[in-house]
Amino acid sequence: MTDGEDESGGETAVRRERFAGGPAREFLSSMAFDDRLFAADLAVDRAHVVMLAEREIVDDDDAGAILEALDDVADAGFEALPDGEDVHEAIETAVIDRVGPEGGRMHTARSRNDEVATCLRYEYRETLLDALETTVAAREALCEVAEAERETVMPGYTHLQPAQPTTVAHWALSYEAALARDTERLLAAYARTNRSPLGAAAFAGTPFEVDRERVAELLGFESVLDNSMDAVSTRDFLVEGTAAFAGLATTLSGLAEDLVVYANKGLVELDDDYASTSSIMPQKKNPDTLELVRSTAGDAYGGLQGLLTTLKGLPRAYNRDLQNASPHAWRVADDVVEATDVAAGAVATATWPADELEAAAGEGFSTATGVADLLAMCGLPFRTAHEVVAEAAERGADYDALNAACEDVLGEGIDTYADRETVEATLDPTASVASRDSAGGPAPKAVAETLAAALDGCATDTDRVGGLAADLEAARDALAAEVTTYA
Ligand code: ARG
């Protein structure tokens, strides 16, 4: 196949002697990464041939023979394909090898340009659906953590400095929310991927009376890309999808980094399955899987950059540069989906040591904001309350320090504003969290509402993704049924 010279020197039914490929044959070939398009191309070929027969562009006998040959090619598998510049050409050659010259009618009214563009979209739909399922599963894993750790108080950080106490549930749902938006972006990319270029031919349409809508329907596409020059030229659906993956990878990198930091502080215990050890230091348990998840964002940005740079400034309509565009998209998708799955597994199996978390939650006068809020609620301007608590922070984080600071700054005791019991309650991390019950806040009551909405969102998206997968399945069945009528 791609491994050097074959006996015919590269000459096939499709690629006659003149363009059999000389020294640059391997360089020209996309066979090394075209196995990903094998199933897509067979589907596209079948749908196209069915449409050609329905339109009486190819007679039923020839269509039947081609469709039978395609089944045989499918059974033999990608590895059995004859030599070819790409999978499209190799499959056509394989059909002609089986059917004879009449097999060449399958390429009537199309070009490899609309063919490859259609195959890429057909396959990318599956890739996006897989990503969507994996992303929703990660959200569900975060919801489960939120459910189990609704009241588990933990330190919250800004600038990686202790900032305010929060809960593990609040932390987990912060990433669920981000992944929900990543899901929206993948769904949007899916919608714009799900359009059929077929029938555009090389770029300038065809004199045959093709039915573009019918081919789109047979392949489960939502609609047709109208302008035939645009249809073969554009890879913007890959840009959009890859950008969505880069965004998803960014979310994952933050999640991974948090877990690496928390593991470092003893605030989370990763399951051994998601950790590794050192080949020399026997005591080590390292968060390697999460470090690799964190690094995936770098690969994704590199892939997006590679894709965009490949596409930049290409003239209309088809240029062979496009052959090197899609591998960026496959690589990014595969890497990010795998990282999503691993991150979800790490989250689902981690344990949260409640006592350590609560102790850490109170460190660094993390309840200071709550005290300032209390003083402001008792009538002091917030800025003045901030000044009092900042002054207290220099001395300590208890009632006496606050009272002394109040006297210094305001010339009166803190009991002018709130009694000792109320002030001391604000210094308790658990009470501090419970008081912050504004919508979307960490108080268990507020988190319960966020969690309910998140679970609803997961269920809705599961239905959506299931519906899209079912549409593809139905189209596959309908095409298979159509094909059997030519047997
Ligand atoms: N393998 C090519 C690609 O991936 C498709 C072939 C179109 N080739 C051409 N020379 N018009 O883009």
346-366: pLDDT as tens digits: 999 999 999 999 999 998 888
Give the distance (Å) from ligand 1 centre to CA of residue 394.
70
Q: What is the pLDDT of residue 4?
A: 40
Q: Measured between alpha carbons, how far is 49 from 110 in angstroms, rounded to an integer?
A: 11
Catalytic residue among 111, 278, 435, 438: 278
Non-local (6+) Cβ contacts of 480 within 8 A are none
The residue whose two tokens read 């004199």 is 207
Residue with CA nearest ligand 1 atom 4 = 323
CA angle (361, 365, 368) in 5-degree steps:
105
Alpha-helix residue ranges (DSSP H) falling in 77-167:
87-99, 112-148
Atom of ligand 1 nearest to the CA of 318: 11
| Residues 250, 185 share a domain | yes
| Residues 189, 120 share a domain | yes
| Residues 98, 84 share a domain | yes
- Best residue among 25, 81, 89, 116 to mutate for probing ligand 1's pocket (most ligand atoms within 8 Å of CB) is 116
Other beta carbons less than 10 A from residue 68's beta carbon = 16
Give the distance (Å) from ligand 1 centre to CA of residue 16.
16
Q: Which residues pair with 158 in a beta bridge?
A: 161
Task: Say if 419 falls within a structural domain.
Answer: yes
Task: Say if 483 falls within a structural domain.
Answer: no
Residue with CA nearest ligand 1 atom 12 = 323
Other beta carbons less than 10 A from residue 8's beta carbon = 12
User: Is there a contact between 89 and 12 (Cβ–Cβ < 8 Å)?
Assistant: yes
Atom of ligand 1 nearest to the CA of 116: 5
Atom of ligand 1 nearest to the CA of 322: 12
Task: Say if 237 falls within a structural domain.
Answer: yes
Number of domains within the chain: 3
Give the distance (Å) from ligand 1 centre to CA of residue 224.
20
Radius of gyration over every alpha carbon of the chain, rounded to an integer in angstroms: 30
The per-residue pLDDT for range 327-345, each reduced to its tens digit, is 999 999 999 999 999 999 9
Residue with CA nearest ligand 1 atom 3 = 323
Which of 197, 192, 203 is closest to 226 using CA atoms? 197
| Residues 306, 280 share a domain | yes
Q: What is the pLDDT of residue 284?
A: 83
Task: Say if 172 falls within a structural domain.
Answer: yes
CATH of the domain at 32: 1.10.275.10
| Residues 121, 47 share a domain | no
Task: Say if 76 falls within a structural domain.
Answer: yes
Polymer length in residues for the chain? 487
- Best residue among 198, 318, 326 to mutate for probing ligand 1's pocket (most ligand atoms within 8 Å of CB) is 318
Non-local (6+) Cβ contacts of 222 within 8 A are 191, 194, 195, 216
Give the distance (Å) from ligand 1 centre to CA of residue 89.
9
* Domain end call among 56, 87, 108: 108
Is the preceding peptide bond at 94 cis, omega within 30 degrees of 0? no
Atom of ligand 1 nearest to the CA of 30: 1
Atom of ligand 1 nearest to the CA of 120: 4
Catalytic residue among 107, 159, 295, 435: 159
Give the distance (Å) from ligand 1 centre to CA of residue 231.
14
Q: Measured between alpha carbons, how far is 2 from 21 in angstroms, rounded to an integer?
A: 12
Q: Give the pair of three-digit tokens for residue 162.
A: 């202790």
| Residues 36, 174 share a domain | no
User: Is there a contact between 486 and 60 (Cβ–Cβ < 8 Å)?
Assistant: yes
Other beta carbons less than 10 A from residue 265's beta carbon = 12
**pLDDT (tens place) for every residue of the chain, 487 residues total:** 444 444 455 567 676 666 666 888 889 999 999 999 999 999 999 999 999 999 999 999 999 999 999 999 999 999 999 988 999 999 999 999 999 999 999 999 999 999 999 999 999 999 999 999 999 999 999 999 999 999 999 999 999 999 999 999 999 999 999 999 999 999 999 999 999 999 999 999 999 999 999 999 999 999 999 999 999 999 999 999 999 999 999 999 999 999 999 999 999 999 999 988 888 888 888 999 999 999 999 999 999 999 999 999 999 999 999 999 999 999 999 999 999 999 999 999 999 999 999 999 998 888 999 989 999 999 999 999 999 999 999 998 899 999 999 999 999 999 999 999 999 999 999 999 999 999 999 999 999 999 999 999 999 999 999 999 999 999 999 999 999 999 8
| Residues 344, 381 share a domain | no
Non-local (6+) Cβ contacts of 122 within 8 A are 40, 43, 44, 219
- Coil, strand or helix: which one is 181? helix
Task: Say if 433 falls within a structural domain.
Answer: no
| Residues 385, 282 share a domain | no
Structural domain that includes position 402: 368-427
Q: Which residues pair with 269 in a beta bridge?
A: 351
Q: Catalytic annotation on 159? A: yes
| Residues 49, 143 share a domain | no
Q: What is the pLDDT of residue 279?
A: 85
* Domain end call among 108, 133, 157: 108
| Residues 467, 376 share a domain | no
Q: Which residues pair with 157 in a beta bridge?
A: 162
Q: Measured between alpha carbons, how far is 205 from 227 in angstroms, rounded to an integer?
A: 9
| Residues 197, 135 share a domain | yes
Other beta carbons less than 10 A from residue 320's beta carbon = 8
Task: Say if 192 falls within a structural domain.
Answer: yes
Q: Give the pair of three-digit tokens for residue 410.
A: 């305001």
Which of 70, 57, 118 is closest to 483 using CA atoms? 70
Residues with CB under 6 Å of ligand 1 are 30, 86, 112-113, 116, 318, 320, 322-323
Strand runs (DSSP E) across 182-261, as ranges? 195-196, 223-224
pTM over 0.75: yes
Task: Say if 361 falls within a structural domain.
Answer: no
Q: Measured between alpha carbons, how far is 199 from 211 in angstroms, rounded to an integer?
A: 8
Give the distance (Å) from ligand 1 centre to CA of residue 116.
7
Non-local (6+) Cβ contacts of 312 within 8 A are none
| Residues 17, 102 share a domain | yes
CATH of the domain at 320: 1.20.200.10
Q: Measured between alpha carbons, how far is 196 from 124 in angstroms, rounded to an integer?
A: 12
